Structure 1
């Protein structure tokens, strides 16, 4: 069974951020998103991998402790 596509609201809730933050990450931090018509759609597994890889990290922010 394939993974469902999520809306910007859904992915914002999934990550615990605002929808504005999601749109900023798409344009500024290359968040994985797919444009379908006028709407952005997301796969939670792609976004989770992007977050784990440091894609949402703030510049100068320390990583996890060793």
Structure 2
């Protein structure tokens, strides 16, 4: 069974951030998202990998030691 597509509301709840933050990350930080008509859709696995790889870090934020 394939992974379900999530809405901006769903992914913001999944990450614990606002929907405005999600849209800012799409525009400024290349958050993985797919435009379907007028809507943005997300795969949780793609977004989780993006977060783990440091995509959501703020400028000047120190990376945690591995």
Please classify the TM superposition score into its range, dividing by the shorter chain length.
over 0.9
Matched residues in 2 for 1:33 and 1:65: separation?
28
Q: Name the TM-score, length of structure 1 as normaliser.
A: 0.97
Where does 1:23-42 land on structure 2 (aligned, <5 Å)? Answer: 23-42=23-42
| 4+ runs deviating over 4 angstroms | none
Could you tell me which runs of 5 or more consecutive residues in structure 1 were left unpaired when the two chains were aligned.
Answer: none
Q: Which residue of 2 aligns with 1:5?
A: 5
Matched residues in 2 for 1:6 and 1:18: separation?
15
CA-based RMSD of the aligned residues comes to: 0.7
Q: Which residue of 1 aligns with 2:60?
A: 60
Q: In the TM superposition, what is the alpha-carbon distance from 1:65 to its structure 2 partner?
A: 2.9
Q: In the TM superposition, what is the alpha-carbon distance from 1:21 to its structure 2 partner?
A: 0.2
Matched residues in 2 for 1:5 and 1:43: separation?
5
Q: Name the TM-score, length of structure 2 as normaliser.
A: 0.97
Matched residues in 2 for 1:39 and 1:59: separation?
28
Q: How many residues are aligned here?
A: 66
